[in-house]
């Protein structure tokens, strides 16, 4: 049985459908089709933003996460919506923030529809 596998591999490599040129190491293409992780523009502040995102979303203590989940549920929001409000506006929503909570819920409904 191993001989069949070896033969089929040799046939695949020699087939005319295989477009790898002689001397090619089989690595990724080096032409313009490759797009770096930070996009088409310059690298700029990419790694600063990536580190900030990691600190904001992934390196939180379990106590902070539990507090935010509990608070978000009381307000009728998701954890992500509540946390984004803290990160974007710098304040924790309260029960009295009826208008802002309604805006967030309307935006959620609009995202689900379309």
Q: Of how many residues is the chain composed?
A: 114
Q: Would residue 5 count as lying in a domain?
A: no
pTM equals 0.59
Alpha helices, H only, 1-114: 2-14, 46-57, 62-75, 79-89, 98-113
Each residue's pLDDT, cut to its tens digit, for the chain (114 residues) gives 445 444 444 444 555 556 677 777 877 666 666 677 887 777 888 888 889 889 888 888 999 999 999 999 999 999 999 999 999 999 999 999 999 999 999 999 999 887
Q: Would residue 21 count as lying in a domain?
A: no
Q: Would residue 4 count as lying in a domain?
A: no
> Which domain range does residue 72 map to?
44-114
Q: Would residue 65 count as lying in a domain?
A: yes
Q: Would residue 105 count as lying in a domain?
A: yes
Domain count, the chain: 1
Q: Would residue 70 count as lying in a domain?
A: yes
Q: Would residue 25 count as lying in a domain?
A: no
Q: Would residue 3 count as lying in a domain?
A: no
User: With contact defined as beta carbons under 8 Å apart, do 68 and 85 qualify?
Assistant: no
């Amino acid at each position: 049985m191993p001989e069949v596998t070896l033969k089929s591999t040799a046939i695949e490599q020699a087939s005319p459908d295989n477009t790898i040129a002689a001397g090619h190491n089989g690595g990724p293409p080096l032409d313009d089709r490759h797009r770096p992780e930070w996009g088409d523009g310059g690298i700029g502040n990419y790694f600063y933003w990536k580190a900030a995102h990691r600190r904001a979303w992934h390196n939180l203590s379990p106590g902070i996460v539990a507090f935010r989940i509990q608070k978000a549920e009381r307000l009728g929001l998701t954890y992500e919506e509540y946390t984004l409000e803290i990160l974007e506006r710098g304040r924790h929503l309260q029960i009295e923030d009826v208008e802002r909570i309604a805006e967030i819920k309307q935006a959620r409904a609009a995202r689900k529809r379309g």
